[in-house]
A and B are shown apart, each in its own frame.
Chain A
């Protein structure tokens, strides 16, 4: 009599009403919370056993609000376009700009408000990546390249003048870019890079030469017209020692800077543009476009890689959560062998229960690390690597089980999980291969010697 039927009425009223197609939840999701678990007064949040976990994933009111806001945005604007842009293998630049000042205001998530950012922390980074990936990991990857590899890097390593010069436009979404580290012949062996910049004392600048590979947001157009993204941080050799690497800002339109090719036919992340970028005697002004110390870029790299890896691990959480939602939804509705749903079958139970447990383990690891990560320092490498190592594989496994539970349907694009499965694979490669995490983690663990872990 009360709510159940009431809801039916509202749905109908909405359906027949003129104009808007569906009842929008809009920002009503904002600040919304699940009230307490069964057995307690449902209005009393304080007595809830799950409180500690919820407050781990949403450490403050703002995190909770940010998550709700994103869920609304994702449901309304990201989800409806995901399948199409994946199929066509093109980047949705208009939607991306809505993440900036004209909409969500999350492109400068970690940047000081003085430079046009929101001044939030690592946990907020995880919230955003988790929520965007829930619908469209490829779109989220473009966000990661921009907001972490470019924006957060500049914000952490740039000078006051550089932040004033570059950050407002990239935080607002007027300019979109990324970061250039990998090369055709140097990936995990990052310091094996060949790109180099020679100082020209007369011109007071560096001459940059080389080729960078797998650059997310490397191009923003979809027709391989040779145009580049707007702004990049580029790592290049500047000295004799292996670690003599410097970080530069390279902007669209600089002479000698071009897009070699848009890389097509990727397994996953197809709605995110990936390109090869070419630097042919590009002149870089020394006083404005060198970020951090000359030959000091390994420090910039380390500082930024930690949050990048955490962001990628959070993307894996979004993939896993969506896969779980899809498989449990399907399992509840599909009948087989005379049973009204698939939950009756032990094999399916195993898929779902193990997926949930692994997802929650990953989620606790990611937010546990995020909640203690200070973005201005470094030294959490072991766990930044660890979260990504664990979560990337976990998300691929969970997506895989989702496909298995859903059978033929799971194998088809319309049912989402096959796309998530393909996207998840990238997380085992991009931002550090599984093998590079093994290497880094064992280096750190070995250094501990016989000191017991605590």
Chain B
């Protein structure tokens, strides 16, 4: 079985982003592997360690620094990597999930993958669309928000997060697309010996423009602005005051 894992390079989760010139300012900002993609990588590597998978291929779409992000995935245990290079911003402004799904479709077909693992969403644009769109384009079954995953026969049982708890979904047979949620696993550290090994693994670069996919964004982004600063709170005199304000000002009580 060959697993393809999506690896997105995003602004690090700890960075407080600023908006400048009507866009998120990426200058001097720390970039990292999207945490949900990291969970997908971990899951794929575990499947390989259990000998359920023969090969794990990490795939990333983005600028040339994406190779660094791919090296992280390689250090965690992926076997090789494919970099679909583009200078478009990947945080929705220039390149949108529909185009990314099409790019992935090409690679999935080319690589004859049996399973595609993706993060449930990128923490920059928070769309959560690439996985479902890719499954649609491929005509494959999909499970989103995976919290637990077990291979079973030719297919797999996947527990997925819902608002009310989890539900278990059976995929009778592969191929399939699964997007990974936070509880699925706890990703490992890339250790020094593995960083050294990762150096020798293969990273293929393909120009996004050469894949015959329409990369133009279909949904124009009209405006980007920072959330308004939170208003200062007030201290109420008594419980009655509080109830009064909740009823008559906030109108959250009847």
Give residues in A with beta carbon < 8 Å to B: 1-10, 13-14, 17-20, 23-40, 42-43, 45, 61-62, 64-66, 69, 72-73, 103-106, 109, 118-120
Q: What residues of chain A lie closer than 8 Å to B17, measured between beta carbons?
A: 3-4, 7
For chain B residues 42-75, which have a beta carbon within 8 Å of chain A? 63-65, 68-69, 71-72, 75
Expressed in whole angstroms, the Cα–Cα distance for A36 and B199 within the complex equals 24
Report the bound CA distance from A103 to B189 in whole Å: 8
Question: Measured between alpha carbons, how far is A26 from B119 in the docked complex, in Å?
Answer: 15
Q: Report the minimum CB–CB distance from B126 to chain A (whole Å).
A: 4
Between-chain CB contacts (< 8 Å), 18 pairs: A2-B221, A4-B17, A4-B24, A18-B183, A25-B13, A25-B32, A27-B75, A28-B72, A32-B31, A32-B32, A32-B69, A34-B31, A38-B27, A65-B75, A65-B198, A73-B189, A105-B193, A106-B192
Chain B residues, Cβ within 8 Å of A28 = 12-13, 32-35, 38, 72, 187
Determine whether the beta carbon of A10 is less than 8 Å from that of B191. Answer: no
* Contact of B26 with A69 in the complex, beta carbons under 8 Å: no
Is B192 within 8 A of A37, CB to CB? no
**B1-43 CB contacts (< 8 Å) to partner A:** 11-14, 16-17, 19, 24-35, 38
A64 CB contacts on chain B under 8 angstroms: 68
Which listed residue (A33, A62, A119) contacts B31, Cβ 8 A?
A33
Q: Which residues of A contact B125 (CB under 8 A)?
A: 2-3, 6
Which 7 pairs across A and B sit closest by C-beta, in order of nearness? A31-B68, A28-B33, A42-B26, A27-B190, A28-B32, A30-B72, A6-B126
Q: A27 touching B65 by the CB < 8 A rule?
A: no
B196:A31 contact, CB within 8 angstroms: no
- A119→B14 CA distance, assembly (Å): 32
In the bound complex, do residue B191 and residue A62 qualify as a contact, i.e. CB atoms below 8 Å apart?
A: no
Task: Find chain A residues with CB under 8 A from B123 CB.
Answer: 6-7, 10
B71 pairs with A30, CB closer than 8 A: yes
Interface residues of B in 77-118 (CB under 8 A from A): 87, 89, 91-93
CA distance A31 to B191 in the complex (A): 12
For B30, list chain A residues within 8 Å (CB).
32-34
Q: Using Cβ atoms and an 8 Å threshold, which residues of chain A touch B31?
A: 32-35
C-alpha gap A80/B34 in the complex (Å): 24
- A62, A106, A119 pick with most chain B CB within 10 angstroms: A62
Nearest CB of A to B43, in Å: 13
Contact B32 A37 (CB under 8 A): no
Within 8 Å of chain A (Cβ to Cβ): is B223?
yes
Contacts of B72 in A (CB 8 A): 27-28, 30-32, 65
Q: Which of A4, A6, A120 has the most CB of B within 10 A?
A: A6
Residues of A near B198 (CB, < 8 A) are 65
> Number of B residues contacting the other chain (C-beta, 8 Å)?
61
How many angstroms from the CA of A118 to the CA of B194 in the assembled complex?
10
C-alpha spacing A30/B182, complex, angstroms? 19
Looking at the assembled complex, report how far the CB atom of A428 sits from the nearest CB atom of chain B, in whole angstroms.
Answer: 31
Distance in Å from the Cβ of B39 to the closest Cβ of chain A?
Answer: 9
B226 at the interface (CB under 8 A from A): yes
Residue in contact with B124 in the complex, picked from A2, A18, A33, A45, CB distance below 8 Å: A2
Complex alpha-carbon distance, A65 and B198, angstroms: 11
A98, closest chain B residue (CB): B189
Contacts of B12 in A (CB 8 A): 25, 28-29, 32
Nearest residue (CB) in A for B17 is A3
Query: Which B residues are CB-close (under 8 A) to A17?
Result: 161, 181-183
Given contacts A3-B17, A65-B195, contact A26 B75 (CB under 8 A): no
Are B32 and A29 interface neighbours, CB within 8 A? yes
Partner of B27, one of A23, A36, A105: A36
Say if the beta carbon of B224 comes within 8 Å of chain A: yes
A31 touches B11 (CB 8 A): no
Are A35's CB and B26's CB within 8 A? yes
| Cβ distance B44 to chain A, nearest Cβ, rounded Å | 14
Question: At the interface, yes or no: B247 with Cβ under 8 Å from chain A?
Answer: no
From known contacts A27-B72, A31-B71, infer whether A2 and B189 are also in contact, taking CB-CB under 8 Å.
no
Contact of B225 among A1, A7, A42, A43 (CB under 8 A): A1
- Which of A23, A33, A39, A45 contacts B13 (CB under 8 A)? A23
Are A43's CB and B192's CB within 8 A?
A: no
B190, A6: Cβ atoms closer than 8 Å: no
Closest to A109 in B: B192
Q: A30-B33, A31-B68, A34-B28 are in contact. Are A7 and B191 (CB under 8 A)?
A: no
Q: Mark B126-167, 1 if CB is under 8 A from A, else 0.
A: 100000000000000000000000000000000001000000
> What residue in chain A is nearest B93 (Cβ atoms)?
A2
Q: Give B182 Cβ to nearest chain A Cβ, in Å.
A: 5
Q: Which residues of B contact A31 (CB under 8 A)?
A: 33, 68-69, 71-72
Known A7-B17, A31-B71, A43-B63; further 19 A-B contacts with Cβ < 8 A: A2-B24, A2-B92, A3-B224, A20-B186, A28-B32, A31-B33, A32-B33, A35-B26, A35-B28, A39-B27, A40-B27, A62-B199, A64-B68, A72-B189, A103-B189, A103-B191, A104-B192, A105-B192, A118-B196
User: Cβ of A118: which chain B residues have Cβ within 8 Å of it?
Assistant: 192-193, 196
Q: Taking the nearest CB of chain B, how far is it from the CB of A224, in angstroms?
A: 34
Could you tell me the distance between the alpha carbons of A62 and B182 in the complex, rounded to whole angstroms?
A: 28
Q: Are A1 and B27 in contact (CB under 8 A)?
A: no
Among candidates B89, B126, B189, B227, residue contacting A26 with C-beta atoms closer than 8 Å: B189
Contact B182 A61 (CB under 8 A): no
